[in-house]
Structure 1
Amino acid sequence: MMITVEEASRLYLENDVAHDFDHVLRVLALAEGIGQEEGANLEIVRAAALLHDIGGRQRSFHARTGAQQAREILQGHPPEKVEAVAQAIATHSFREKSTPQTLEAQVLYDADKLDAIGAIGVARAYAVSGQMGHRLWAPVSADYQGEARGTPEHTAVHEFVFKLSRLKETLFTPRAKVIAEERHRYMVGFFARLEREVKGEL
């Protein structure tokens, strides 16, 4: 074992509520299930899942930052394993647009993105939105490209249009794609109903 759950938990004390250690444990559970079914190296998958967000969410390039930190934390383990973990972490971000090249990296990416959609995805989006003092709902065009991100105008609805609604199509592994179908359907239904309630139609 390259790192234990207890050791990893101490690395997330300052992360925000949507990227805390509860998120890490959900990603770990998903990654283990997907990795086992897809035939990935579970030692690499587990270490990458436990360390994937140590780069923090308030900094730019958190995936690359986390990859370098993982290399330092895992010193003493076989270099090829350390690099496999680091590469998985470096390519798990949707916004940094680095494509996962190994099966283990794809498993981590998929597990992390599954935790961003469905009911838990809605909850996380509103946790971040509330933390930043954003409105509950605001109209947004279907071709919104994230230009208001980082401002009060980028609500959870904007995050859904810009990112969450697109994640299902970015997944790599067959197992993750199956899981994503129901999560995506629920999330789309939630935001559609939210809009109707906001407009007084329901």
Structure 2
Amino acid sequence: MLSPIQKRKIEAFAKKCASSNDMFHDFSHLQHVAKNAVMLAKKEGADEEVCWVSALLHDICKSEKGNHGTEGANKARKFLKSIGAEDSFIEKVYDAIYFHNKGFRKGPLERQVLWDADKLQIVGPYWFFMRHLRYTLMMEGQEKGVPHSISEYRFFEARFHTKSARKIVREKAKLMRPLFSALIREHRKVHGRA
């Protein structure tokens, strides 16, 4: 169990690391993912503290070169050792962060919770349009960004691990399908493929 001082150090470290991330992976993203992770952990019976810490630290290397899941897991491990966290706790956090941006079929519940908590950030109209679509447009431009964003949403929609996350996604899908249809129609008109 982490002490209040350790928790404050973790939050400060996450905030410092995220300060160089893009606006889509800033500290507020880490906080939202942490909120989702704790909610899912409670519903699924996962270790809430492992889920909270792994969520706060999952994108600490997002702005650095290399695989940010792998690099972030290593950086988190080193940091957690420096503040005196227990080895077994550190390894659970490491595992969740390491796999949060990789495909996997099975694994510890905390790994599944972090993956789901992170991807819930694109589920539903608000988060899809405020974060995911804007990020994809920035990276790929208008013509490719819209179809790619919808395709990626559908890819993630089918891959949630926990029952709780899948239930949330099913509810949000009722809102998203008509929006996607309208967005695709408009996109085709704008780009001459009506």
Which TM-score band applies after superposition, normalised by the shorter structure? 0.7 to 0.9
Cα separation, partners in 2 of 1:194 and 1:176, compared to 1, 3 Å? same
Partner residue in 2 for 1:186:
175
Choose the corresponding residue for 2:155, options 166, 188, 195.
Answer: 166
Q: Gaps spanning 5+ residues in structure 1: where?
A: 139-153
Offset of residue 118 of structure 1: 1.8
Q: Secondary structure at the match of 2:7?
A: coil
| 2:135 counterpart of 1:131 | no
> Which string of whole-angstrom CA distances, capped at 9 and with x for unpartnered residues, describes residues 90-110 of structure 1?
1111xx324561111111111
Amino acid at match of 1:134: G
Task: Decide whether the 8 Å contact of 1:17 with 1:128 is kept in 2.
Answer: no
Aligned runs of 1:61-140 on 2, under 5 Å? Answer: 61-75=67-81, 76-93=84-101, 96-99=102-105, 101-119=107-125, 120-132=127-139, 134-135=141-142, 138=143
Cα separation, partners in 2 of 1:79 and 1:169, compared to 1, 3 Å? same
Offset of residue 171 of structure 1: 1.0
Matched residues in 2 for 1:190 and 1:60: separation?
35
Q: TM-score if structure 2 supplies the norm length?
A: 0.83
| 2:28 counterpart of 1:38 | no
Q: TM-score if structure 1 supplies the norm length?
A: 0.80
Q: Secondary structure at the match of 2:18?
A: coil
- Greater alpha carbon shift after TM alignment, 19-28 vs 52-61: 52-61
Task: Decide whether the 8 Å contact of 1:92 with 1:105 is kept in 2.
Answer: yes
Runs of 4+ that moved beyond 4 A? none
Offset of residue 15 of structure 1: 0.8
Matched residues in 1 for 2:27 and 2:105: separation?
25
> Which string of whole-angstrom CA distances, capped at 9 and with x for unpartnered residues, describes residues 73-95 of structure 1?
101211111010000001111xx
Matched residues in 1 for 2:26 and 2:174: separation?
25
| 2:19 counterpart of 1:10 | no
Task: Decide whether the 8 Å contact of 1:165 with 1:184 is kept in 2.
Answer: no
Offset of residue 57 of structure 1: 5.0
Matched residues in 1 for 2:41 and 2:184: separation?
37
Offset of residue 58 of structure 1: 5.9
Determine what percentage of the aligned residue pairs are the same residue. Answer: 31
Offset of residue 121 of structure 1: 2.2
Matched residues in 1 for 2:118 and 2:78: separation?
22
Offset of residue 25 of structure 1: 1.1
Matched residues in 1 for 2:75 and 2:64: separation?
16
Matched residues in 2 for 1:171 and 1:130: separation?
24
Greater fraction of residues in helix: 2
